[in-house]
Structure 1
Amino acid sequence: MTLLAVGINYNTAPVSIRERLAFPAEILETALLELWNIKEISEAAILSTCNRTELYCASITSNQQALIDWVAESKQIKAADFTPYLYYHTDKSVCRHMFRVACGLDSMILGEPQILGQMKTAYQAAYEAGTLGKQLGKLFQHTFSAAKKVRTDTAIGFSPVSVAFAAVQLAQQIFDKLSEQTALLIGAGETIELAARHLSQQGIGRIIIANRTYDKAHTLATQFNGYAIALAELPRHLAEADIVVSSTASQLPILGKGRVESALKQRKHKPMFMVDLAVPRDIEAEVEQLPDVYLYTIDDLQATIDQNMDSRRQAAEQAEEIIDTQVDYFLTWLRSQRAQSTIRDYRSQAEKTRDEALQKALGLLKNGLSPEEALNRLAHSLTNKLIHTPSIQIREAAENERHDLIAAAREIFKLKKT
């Protein structure tokens, strides 16, 4: 049995290809069963995210052509249109790849944690579809253990590298207690959601979310016990904000120098920390000239992000060492499993020999032979039968000068020299 992985990701394929090969949740079970029903495949799982699609399989062959043909048929796309973007892994390489993916070492943002959750979703989907077996199931479990060890033993997740987190990190340096501050977030996109999440995790006192579409602001605010306002209400609430984070798609500034100056007067010149994460800017550059305002742009945060990225790269080197060890552990288990059929057959043969010898001994007892004599004959007969075939094979090995087999026999049976 061979472990196989075939996939594409953000490094190898443009989004136009990735979206054509994606497997949304609503079709995942059907796709898994179709993949599993391929003659050569005994186990199957599919990981599908916006940045990658990967097929993990246990197969009787190391040839990936069956997987390529299935993808082409399943997605109604010519194989020639996507095969240039594929990468392939087998056995040891599959293990290493899955471990690296789960740890965020193969992600667009080094060390990002979301991929582990997506990997667990892929495992759960395959488990529920019934397409996992012993080998692939164990590999997933070992993958999760490896990712946990990397997260625990390295700092790969301790230095977030999003601009949203960098903004919150900077706010913590300016304010002693975020629990006593009010944050005003302008926008309702992914960056603002991340900023709200980080602020909430750091115990911010109050969150106000302003957006052009009130419903979007309300939906986001309810996640963090915040207060939603429409963008038109911004002038009435700006003075309440100790922290302002803005990230919209507006082509014109939302906050000008005059409006911020008015808010500062209402605040009696209590300092205001402002972060403009928008391109083009949401906050006029002249606001920086105002006393009691700390204004930062996305460029100003780049140094923090770069520093955190350096920290993650150092952690990634440690993670690779951990993965090396974890791969060896799994391959040791895998090799032991591949001997199971031989062990099972050997045990079955020994049990058959035992049962035959036992039946003969019981027959002798019924015919009046003494128990002591019956046991002696049982022991003698069983010993002869168990050593008969190995003795013949060892003798033939010697005749054919197969010293390797003789050495193996001594090792297997743990024979001491006499």
Structure 2
Amino acid sequence: MGFIALGINHKTAGVEVRERLSFAPEQLPDALLRLREETVTQEVAILSTCNRTELYCAQDQLDADGLVNWFAAFHGMTADEVRRCSYLHQDAGAVNHMMRVAAGLDSMVLGEPQILGQMKDAWQAARTAGTLGPHLDRLFQSTFNMAKQVRTDTRIGENPVSVAFAAVSLSKQIFSDLGRSTALLIGAGETIGLVARHLYDQGVGKIIVANRTLERAAVLAEPLGGQSIVLNQIPDVLAQCDVIISSTASPLPILGKGAVERALKQRKHKPMFMVDIAVPRDIEPEVGDLADVYLYSVDDLHQVIEENLRSRQGAANAAERLIEVGTDDFMQRLRALAAVDIVRDYRTKAEQLRDQELLKAQQKLQRGVDPAQVLAEMARGLTNKLLHDPSVKLKQMSAQGRVEALALAQELFALGGTAADVGSQSNTSSSDAAPNARPSSAAHTILQGKQ
């Protein structure tokens, strides 16, 4: 069983192509089943996010072209169009790629943690659809464990590298217990939405969203149990707010020095943390001159982010080394599992032969045959049957001059001698023998154990 990872991401395809090749959640069950039915794929999972779409497949005989053709046809594109913007990894390469993705090493924001949850969703969707299978499941579990190890053993996820997350992280430096804090978010765009989600995840006590239109504010605030207000109501709530983060498209400042001074008096000069992400600025720069106000601009945040990115890059290098080791370990275990199947099948065959000889022996004993004779015949019969197929195969390999296979057989049966001995015997017999001569003595030597 081999693995294939086929996909596109933000580095290989523009947003228009990523949109065309994405899978909506409601499409996934059907897509998973169709991919398994319409290709040689035995097990499959699909990861589809705004930045990437990837197919993870387990196949007995790897068929990359068939997978590309299916991916293209499902989305109404040509195979050439998909090939131009996609990447494909096989076996160890696929394992390494999945581990890098889960650890955030292949993300637009290096080390971002959300991708691990998205991969777990892909695993669960495949499991629910019945397309996961033992091999792919084993790979996903190893991938999840590796992502956890990367975050535990490196600093890749410790320092924020997005504006929204950096703002929330800085607020925690001022208010160690956000659960007792109230946050005022001014605006209702994407960045403020991310800030709201980060604050909510950090357990902030209360969220107030102020926007030009109350409806937009409510859309953001209500799912998080927050309060929505319009911009001209900000002075009414400012004194109760510990964290103020603003990001609007207003051409003029929304929050002035006078309003903040009045709020500080009501708060009895309890500190206020402010982040102005907007350009042009929403908060008058003079507000930062006030005592008990900690005001950060978007430039301040970018400086923090750049420093954190440098820190993350060092952690990423350490993470890459961990993943290389993890990939090698997984592939070794995978190869060991292949041997388990062979051992199981051979043991089943040996047990069947044993039962046949045992039944013959029991029948002879019932007829009164001497027990010593029965035991000797049973031992001889079982030995002959166990050795019959290997004997035939070894003679064939010897006649064909397959020295490597004979040397492997000698190691497999734990016999004396060396591979060079077997090769010498095989080469001598093959060069001297007539066309119809018996096979060389190499196979005979192996089966006899050089006795």
Is the shorter-chain TM-score for this pair beyond 0.5, marking a shared fold?
yes
Partner of 2:104: 104
The amino acid across from 1:325 in the alignment is V
C-alpha displacement at 1:74, in angstroms?
1.3
Map 1:47-126 onto structure 2 (within 5 A). 47-126=47-126
Aligned AA for 1:309?
Answer: L
1:168 alignment partner in structure 2: 168
Could you tell me whether the CA contact under 8 Å between 2:39 and 2:70 is conserved in 1?
no
Partner of 1:217: 217
The amino acid of 2:113's aligned partner reads P
Q: Larger deviation: 385-394 or 64-73? A: 385-394
Q: In structure 2, what is the equivalent of residue 241 of structure 1?
A: 241
CA contact (8 A) 1:17 1:82 kept: no
- In structure 2, what is the Cα distance between the partners aligned to 1:415 and 1:184? 79
**Which of 88-97 and 243-252 deviates more?**
243-252
Partner Cα separation in structure 2 for residue 27 and residue 399 of structure 1:
57
CA contact (8 A) 2:206 2:226 kept: yes
CA RMSD, 1 decimal: 2.7
Q: Counterpart of 1:295 in 2: which secondary structure?
A: strand
Judged with a 3 Å threshold, the aligned counterparts in structure 2 of structure 1 residues 354 and 88 are, in CA distance, closer, same or farther, namely same
In 1, Cα distance between the equivalents of 2:14 and 2:199?
34
Secondary structure of the 2:27 match is: helix
* Offset at residue 403 of structure 1 (A): 4.4
| Cα distance change of structure 1 residues 374 and 287 upon mapping to structure 2, 3 Å threshold | same
Cα 1:345/1:274, change in 2 over 3 Å:
closer
1:307 matches 2:307: yes
Q: How does 1:186-335 map to 2 (within 5 A)?
A: 186-200=186-200, 204=204, 206-222=206-222, 226-264=226-264, 266-267=266-267, 271-290=271-290, 292-335=292-335
SS at match of 1:118: helix
Find the aligned partners of 2:145 and 2:176 in 1 and give their Cα distance: 37
Counterpart CA distance in 1 for 2:400 and 2:265 is: 101
Report the CA distance shift for 1:178/1:41 in structure 2 as closer, same or farther (over 3 A). Answer: closer
Question: In 1, Cα distance between the equivalents of 2:64 and 2:148?
Answer: 30
Q: Distance in 1 between matches of 2:91 and 2:22?
A: 24
Partner of 1:137: 137
Q: Which runs of 5+ in 2 are unaligned?
A: 418-450
Preserved contact between residue 182 and residue 208 of structure 2 (Cα < 8 Å): yes
Structure showing greater relative contact order (alpha-carbon pairs closer than 8 Å, 6 or more residues apart): 1
What's the counterpart of residue 415 of structure 1? 415
Whether the 8 Å CA contact 2:68–2:82 is kept in 1: the answer is no
- Residue 238 of structure 1: SS of its match in structure 2? helix
Deviation string, structure 1 residues 372-414 (Cα, Å, up to 9, x no partner): 4322321222123223443455566566665433432232122
Deviations 1:191-241 (A, max 9, x none): 334434444555655443222333443454455554332222112222333
TM-score (structure 1 length as normaliser): 0.89
Q: Which moved more, 1:365-374 or 1:29-38?
A: 365-374
- One-letter identity of the residue aligned with 1:254: I
Q: Distance in 1 between matches of 2:358 and 2:185?
A: 82
The residue aligned with 1:357 is 357
Structure 2 contact 102–115 (Cα < 8 Å) conserved: yes
**Do the aligned partners of residues 357 and 231 (structure 1) sit closer, same or farther apart at CA in structure 2, a change above 3 Å counting?**
same
Gaps of 5+ in 1: none
- Report SS of the residue matched to 1:301: helix
C-alpha deviation, 1:12, in angstroms: 0.4
C-alpha spacing 1:84/1:362, structure 2 compared with 1 (3 Å): same
* TM-score, normalisation: structure 2: 0.83
More deviation in 154-163 or 381-390? Answer: 381-390
| Letter paired with 2:327 | V
Alpha-carbon distance, 1:2 to partner:
2.8
| Percent of aligned pairs with the same amino acid | 54
Stretch deviating more after TM superposition (9-18 or 165-174)? 165-174
**Paired residues, number:** 418
Using the TM superposition, give the Cα deviation of residue 107 of structure 1 relative to its aligned residue in structure 2, in angstroms. 0.3
Amino acid paired to 1:366: Q
Residues 112, 408 of structure 1: CA spacing in aligned structure 2 closer, same or farther, 3 A cutoff? same
Describe the shift of the 1:226–1:356 C-alpha distance in structure 2 as closer, same or farther (beyond 3 A): same
Judge conservation of contact 2:40–2:63 (CA < 8 Å) in 1: no
**Aligned equivalents of 2:361 and 2:176: distance in 1?**
87
